[in-house]
Chains A and B, each alone.
Chain A
């Protein structure tokens, strides 16, 4: 399976409130609340770090979850947010400031 790189879209608004990360797409106004694990992935989504590395470093190590479970959950999370254009996904590293590479 090829590696994925994820980055935060510039067309979103995000804010931590009451200990929860809230994200809203400024394109279609969809609104998401992220749990702690999703927030960790979200914050690490810099377009350059492979998703597997993010899962290992920011999820497995921090939340004591096995890699298989964490990776499966992360794939689902990334798929959902990328569907709404909130996360950008590519099979190679990209510069987030350069705009969307590929919204999977």
Chain B
């Protein structure tokens, strides 16, 4: 009954270990995170998951709140409470037995880890073609899932919803994520250097246009996932967005929803 069950979820090469007393919860996580389960890597950080009966307070529609107090990150949303000690690399989550709370904690933790390393999570679909990654960014309805669904067989989909952008010595890499959008399919767990960021829009013809630098930074900042209202982190994200635009080509991609749009993605 008190046996602990562990599962490591590795995204962007960063394994995070979750420990629970509930074997069925672990099975649910394995089922959900498929190709992102890590069996060999040493975890970067660990979370104890305490499963509780949902209370009235925890069923509220509260938005995610993330704040640093006394050296600890505190996360809370209607369906969970969590704490993470970044120095010790340990934390806990109190939640009901659902897969969405862990998913949110993963997004928050990875956004914080990436911010400190010059990367970010981006509202974007992403895919690899011929060894190069392409990002397709936009708000809901811009076409992230549509362009993912239209991808030809030679394209490896990394995600149709949340892209993982990691800073490397010579540029940026996009990594697959299990964060799925309307496609309801986890991405492929691999990575490639980012060739182009496309700002998505649907239109009456397929076309690619140059975007000026300020507009590129503005759009990028608008689509970066960011939870903490922390001045130091906001500044890091701004610098990361500027660095990214300085190094990676950013274009506006207007498309009609059929497979010919992929003729332009080379």
**A interface with B by C-beta (< 8 Å):** 11, 13, 15, 17-20, 22, 24, 26-27, 29, 31, 33
The reply to whether A26 and B217 contact each other, CB–CB distance below 8 Å, is no
The reply to whether A13 and B238 contact each other, CB–CB distance below 8 Å, is yes
Q: Which of B212, B218, B221, B239 is close to A18, meaning CB atoms less than 8 Å apart? A: B212
The reply to whether A22 and B214 contact each other, CB–CB distance below 8 Å, is yes
> Does B106 reach chain A (CB closer than 8 Å)?
no
The reply to whether A20 and B238 contact each other, CB–CB distance below 8 Å, is no
> Does B232 reach chain A (CB closer than 8 Å)?
yes
* B239: nearest chain-A partner, CB-CB: A13
The reply to whether A27 and B242 contact each other, CB–CB distance below 8 Å, is no
> Does B41 reach chain A (CB closer than 8 Å)?
no
Q: Which A residues are in CB contact (< 8 Å) with B221?
A: 24, 29, 31
Q: Is the interface of A mostly helix, strand, loop or mixed?
A: strand
> Does B235 reach chain A (CB closer than 8 Å)?
yes
Q: Which of B231, B232, B242 is close to A17, meaning CB atoms less than 8 Å apart? A: B242
The reply to whether A26 and B213 contact each other, CB–CB distance below 8 Å, is no
The reply to whether A24 and B238 contact each other, CB–CB distance below 8 Å, is yes
Min distance, Cβ A21 to any Cβ of chain B, angstroms:
9
**B interface with A by C-beta (< 8 Å):** 212-214, 217-218, 221, 231-232, 234-235, 238-239, 242, 245-246
The reply to whether A26 and B214 contact each other, CB–CB distance below 8 Å, is no
Q: Which A residues are in CB contact (< 8 Å) with B231?
A: 11, 26-27
The reply to whether B242 and A15 contact each other, CB–CB distance below 8 Å, is yes
Q: Which B residues are in CB contact (< 8 Å) with A26?
A: 231-232, 234-235, 238
With A13-B235, A26-B231, A26-B232 as known contacts, state yes or no: A20 contacts B218, CB within 8 Å.
Answer: no
Taken together as a complex, chains A and B put the C-alpha atoms of A19 and B218 apart, in Å, by 15
Q: Which B residues are in CB contact (< 8 Å) with A20?
A: 213-214
Q: Which of B213, B217, B232, B234 is close to A29, meaning CB atoms less than 8 Å apart? A: B234
Q: Which A residues are in CB contact (< 8 Å) with B214?
A: 17-18, 20, 22, 33
* B214: nearest chain-A partner, CB-CB: A33
Taken together as a complex, chains A and B put the C-alpha atoms of A20 and B246 apart, in Å, by 12
Taken together as a complex, chains A and B put the C-alpha atoms of A13 and B245 apart, in Å, by 16
* B213: nearest chain-A partner, CB-CB: A18
Q: Which B residues are in CB contact (< 8 Å) with A27?
A: 231
Q: Which B residues are in CB contact (< 8 Å) with A29?
A: 221, 234
Min distance, Cβ B122 to any Cβ of chain A, angstroms:
16
